[in-house]
Amino acid sequence: MKKSFLALLVSSVFLLSACDEKENRTEATEIKQTEQTQQTTQAPETVQPSEKVETSKLNAETITLFEKGKSVDLDESTEHKFNPAEPFFLSVQAPKTGVQWLDNLLLIEAAKFILPVDQDKPFPFTVVQTNLKASLEAALATYYDEYAKEINESLVEMKKFDIEAGDATEQNWQPSPMMTSQYFNLESKFLDQQRNIATFFFYFENYTGGAHGWHNGVTVNADLDRQSLISVEDLFGKEENSNKAVKALLWESYKNYHWALTQEFAKDSNEPAPSREKFEAEFKENAFIQPEDLYISNSFQFTKEGVMFSYPPYAIGSYAEGQIELLVEWKDIQPLLTKEYQGLAEYEFKPIPKE
């Protein structure tokens, strides 16, 4: 999730305080808003019949949409010669299937991880745009130059501050490793295709200073018949009762996730596990979020067992917990699916990998 550079500078360089998980809970709201705009369903476009045939069996590769700068580990940054012309690393990958409308959708999804998204306005790039790839490359290049300018301007201010404070001289001043190790990296891959459903995965990680970076894995599903990405609204409709029922199922899955962790911790520490009743009481009081805060994630994957919803750090758990996945089994979720997707439970989706 991107913040303004100056805000990050204040919080991660001058303050240099350890992350307080309770304070970080406010990030959950920002993450929810970001996810809701991250995946935008595009209007179906008209394609030639030959292109429709190609989607019967996709063959995908991964391409690099944009890359500039050098990736530097924080521990190695003191040995890295800082280059003001390329002060940070930016790399953006996207899947390529050879099906134009689908590739354009995936290019746009990739770009949204980096380019600013105004929740009150349509994303300025569309699936039917001419020369979309070149336009996105140009936009990413502009983003790189603007962010690089902010970094260099901030370094000038930091140098001035350190010299005036007597912490450095003009000759021996060195930029902070947290400033010279910044990066935004997006990897992507094609996961699977079952009938008309093609599934792709994006993994985004960045570091912009502070105690640690941030990461998020996002799964997107394309309906090859409708020629669009599948949204939460596509799956469950707009009915409030339907969405409430899905959230209730997710909350039960969320509790079961933590119940399993409690059992595992008790086993590893050779301590008696609490009763389910005691666990429920304590969980209600101490949970990272409350039921009303749980949202239906736009990042979901169809599996043999059911629908797996994925949440990034801080959304429904602490940073230390990492990405959290909540499974809702087919027997529970199928009745809530829209008519168009009622048959998904019969597809031969892959089972959840065993750890």
pLDDT tens-digit readout, 36-53? 445 443 343 434 444 554
Query: Both tokens of residue 11?
Result: 């919080």
What mean pLDDT, rounded, does the chain reach? 85
Residues 175 and 268 in one domain: no
Query: Both tokens of residue 323?
Result: 């990405």
215-218: long-range contacts, CB 8 A cutoff, minimum separation 24: 215/312, 215/313, 215/322, 215/323, 216/1, 216/312, 216/313, 216/323, 217/299, 217/310, 217/312, 217/323, 218/38, 218/39, 218/298, 218/299, 218/310
Confidence of residue 76 (pLDDT cuts 50, 70, 90): low
Residues 129 and 251 in one domain: no
Residues 193 and 158 in one domain: yes
Residue that finishes a domain, picked among 167, 197, 229: 229
- Average the pLDDT over 274-300 and give the result: 94
**How many domains in the chain?**
2
β-pairing verdict for 183-194 and 89-96: parallel
Q: What confidence score (pLDDT) does residue 55 get?
A: 59
Residue 176 lies in a domain: yes
For residues 338 and 236, the answer to whether their CB atoms sit within 8 Å is yes
Consecutive H or E run containing 188: strand 183-194
Confidence of residue 21 (pLDDT cuts 50, 70, 90): very low
Q: What confidence score (pLDDT) does residue 54 get?
A: 53
Percent of the chain with pLDDT over 70: 82
Residue 307 lies in a domain: yes
Residues 150 and 207 in one domain: yes
Half-sphere exposure of 279 (CA within 13 A, CB side): 16
User: Is 3's pLDDT higher than 90?
Assistant: no
Query: Both tokens of residue 73?
Result: 């580990």
User: Is 257's pLDDT higher than 80?
Assistant: yes
Q: What confidence score (pLDDT) does residue 107 get?
A: 98
Confidence of residue 78 (pLDDT cuts 50, 70, 90): low
Which of 11-25, 206-220, 321-335 has the highest mean predicted lDDT (pLDDT)?
321-335
By C-alpha distance, which of 226, 338, 241, 249 is closest to 297? Answer: 249
Report how far residue 254's alpha carbon sits from residue 48's, in angstroms, rounded to the nearest whole number.
44
pTM for this model (two decimals)? 0.84
Q: In what order do the strands lie in the sheet containing 306-311?
A: 300-302, 306-311, 324-329
Confidence of residue 178 (pLDDT cuts 50, 70, 90): confident
Q: What confidence score (pLDDT) does residue 13 get?
A: 34
Structural domain span for residue 104:
61-74+81-229
Residue 319 lies in a domain: yes
Residue that finishes a domain, picked among 182, 209, 229: 229
Percent of the chain with pLDDT over 90: 68
Q: What confidence score (pLDDT) does residue 336 get?
A: 97
Report how far residue 105's alpha carbon sits from residue 63's, in angstroms, rounded to the nearest whole number.
14
- Say which CATH number the domain at 269 has: 3.90.640.20
For residues 34 and 123, the answer to whether their CB atoms sit within 8 Å is no
User: Is 25's pLDDT higher than 60?
Assistant: no
Report how far residue 256's alpha carbon sits from residue 182's, in angstroms, rounded to the nearest whole number.
37
Report how far residue 312's alpha carbon sits from residue 61's, in angstroms, rounded to the nearest whole number.
26
Q: Please say whether the dihedral angle defined by the alpha carbons of residues 134, 109, 126 and 100, taken in this order, is positive or negative.
A: positive
